[in-house]
Chain A
Amino acid sequence: MKHTISVLVENHSGVLSRISGLFSRRGFNIESLAVGPTQDPTISRITIIADGNEYTVEQIEKQLNKLIQVIKVKTLTKDECLARELLIAKLSVPADKRSEVMTIAEITGAKVMDLSLTTMTLELCDTYANLKRFEEIIAPYNVIELVRTGTIAISKGADTITAK
């Protein structure tokens, strides 16, 4: 089962390598990891999508908490969190196929970022599941490059994760 784990960490060098090292040496499966600064410049927030049963998630939380530079760990439940990921795909599209791709973009909510004589570059910001579907839809159109940011997530409503 997939879990969304939010981690507040000190915004210092070396934190990310400690966290990725922890995942590999303890044999935790990580699907994506996204990191960036928060409204507090001393704190970065990492969103990890990890695979595992309840025992594994409990261990991930506890082991992350043992790292001195980890301030807070919280697993977000699927129903109560808002999650997004950005995908950028470059398609090799001959001129006569452009309108077909445009239609797909329109329906899926993707935007055309860039256009050249032979390529179209699309961007889509959506949930993990919708991006997966989008990948399937564009697959027949000669995808020559595809890049994703990894999921970031935040809890719904007034719930927050704070350093305190």
Chain B
Amino acid sequence: MKMTAAQAIVECLKAENIKVVYGYPGAAICPLYDALLDAKDDIKHVLVRHEANGGHAANGYARISGKPAVCIATSGPGAVNLVTAIATAHADSIPIVCITGQVNTDQIGSDAFQEADITGAAEPFVKHSYLLSNPDDLPRVFKEAFYIAGSGRPGPVLIDIPMDVQKAVIDFKYPKSVSIRSYKPTLKGNFNQIKRFVSSLEKAKKPLICIGGGVFASNAQKEICELAKIMQIPVITTMMGLSVFSDDNPLFFGMLGMHGVPVANKAVNDCDVLFLVGARVGDRAVRAPLSIEKTTKILHIDIDPAEIGKNIGVDYPLVGDAKLVLQDMIKLAKPMEHNDWIEYLNSLNKPDEFVKMPKGTVNPREFMFKLSKSMPADTIVAADVGQNQIWTATGYKFKDGGRFITSGGMGTMGYSVPAAIGAKMAAPDRPVMVICGDGSFQMNFMELATAIQHNVPIKIIVMTNNRLGMVRELQTNGYDDRQIAVALDGSPDFIKLADAYGIKSCCVTDDKSMDKAIEFIKNTDELCLVEVVVDEMAKTL
């Protein structure tokens, strides 16, 4: 069928079953926007207030839907603003397809108005990118882009399209299949190696499973829970793997790492076989991998061969999709018992105790704990970056069906609000909650307007301590408490800010208002904001 390339893009999006796109228009992407107007019944365009947030919203949508999501920006500054979101998605292996406008083909390289070499700028952070110079390639490029973004180890794919290419008329036919000779991810694991995995775990006296974000990427939550149950193996997670296991699962011992819980870190040091599932052993998760690999037998499943042996030496590597590998392992696994080992870990597990905080503030961990007890099991929690993230990761007790999303690898402040907007649109029936700090909220609160304009009822919790708390804590602990550039004086009154946007709000300053606020969060079905006042010296460690 003859149509413009811009119309063909819309057809590609429809063929990929894309219902919503996040974007910000500009001159160089106008042909595509014009075509989107004619498709508004099929594809909802959400106007974000900053391009990076469009990328984060697509990120949130992709995490919850499990499929690639789309964001759009114009050339030059629009595209460059998107780079933070592309890097964020790349670090956490989230499938997004980013479409950017570009100046006309004959202007490329001339430093034209709003020209930026976005494929060059984004190169280190994309799984793949295209500068579409031949309009006839468009259907194939889109088919490949969605396939590359969503398959293997997922990640962001960028398609940069000059304005004249968008306007060109092409004969459109969307390819049914995709074949890229240089890209064939290994999904099915080597069966002999799978047998070795199972027998190593069977022989272990103190086995431990450590799961990462790869378990979500391969949708293997059910399988890993089942294997752990059959073989009675204790489980810990990285930050990216948090919420795979329900907190009340007797085999679950929390998050490891620099900001993790002591029992999880002790378990890593004391286990004799460590089974890594879609976890890349990043520096925040395991600070001294060398000392562990000396004393522990390490098994590692990852779909990305480059992650195996990169950060930690491995005894048994296995490249494959976690879901498929675990399904094979479950078939081979025999019921086991590790009562002494589990009992030992339980003896290290201290019950939560909440110290009283100065008047006018609450204990952030106690707030998280109580909040999690009260919220429905299927709540999605989008935490930002900083102390709020750690308090959520270690204080919020996830239940079966719950989901934690955060910028784990890149640690991008300002992620939470737009990501929650995307998450809520992917799962309109589930409660979606933002937890951020007064620092991170001021990096993204312009997106309140987006949530209002498009009627996305998320629940926003702002932990305020008038500080960039995580940096303050670093300065306190590592720099003799020499505090610089961490005071957030000049911040607005967040309750008045909520008023200005016309949204409901309340403020938590003590135990009584805490209980009331939790009820408010639970029962308010529209966009709402809760400020939780925290002491400036409250710690995460």
Contacts and interface: CB of A to CB of B under 8 A. Distances in A.
B293 interface: no
26 contacts: A9-B182, A14-B119, A14-B131, A17-B120, A17-B123, A21-B123, A21-B124, A25-B124, A58-B309, A59-B310, A62-B305, A62-B306, A62-B310, A63-B306, A65-B306, A66-B304, A68-B127, A68-B128, A68-B148, A68-B180, A68-B182, A69-B182, A70-B182, A71-B181, A71-B182, A72-B182
Contacts of A163: 181
Name the residue in A10, A62, A68, A71 with the highest tally of chain B Cβ atoms < 10 Å from its Cβ. A68
Name the residue in A17, A18, A63, A70 with the highest tally of chain B Cβ atoms < 10 Å from its Cβ. A18
Interface string B4-32: 00000000000000000000000000000
A17 B126 CA distance: 14
Interface of B: 119-120, 123-124, 127-128, 131, 148, 180-183, 304-306, 309-310
Contacts, number: 34
Interface residues of A, number: 20
Given A68-B148, A70-B182, A59 B306 contact: yes
Interface in A61-87: 62-63, 65-66, 68-72
B146 to A, nearest CB: 13
Nearest to B125: A25
Contacts of A9: 182
A66 B119 contact: no
Interface of A: 9-10, 14, 17-18, 21, 25, 55, 58-59, 62-63, 65-66, 68-72, 163
A80 to B, nearest CB: 24
Name the residue in B120, B127, B304, B306 with the highest tally of chain A Cβ atoms < 10 Å from its Cβ. B306
B88 to A, nearest CB: 17
A72 to B, nearest CB: 8
Contacts of A65: 305-306
Contacts of A62: 305-306, 310
A73 B120 CA distance: 23
A21 B119 CA distance: 12
Nearest to A71: B182
A42 B127 CA distance: 22
A10 B123 contact: no
B182 A18 contact: no
B83 to A, nearest CB: 14
A62 B119 CA distance: 22
Contact of A68 (B119, B120, B183, B309): B183
A36 to B, nearest CB: 18
A71 B182 CA distance: 4
A69 B123 CA distance: 13
Closest 5 CB pairs of A and B: A62-B306, A71-B182, A68-B128, A68-B183, A25-B124
A17 B129 CA distance: 12
A9 B181 CA distance: 11
Contacts of B305: 62, 65
Contacts of B182: 9-10, 68-72
A62 B306 CA distance: 5
Contacts of B306: 59, 62-63, 65-66
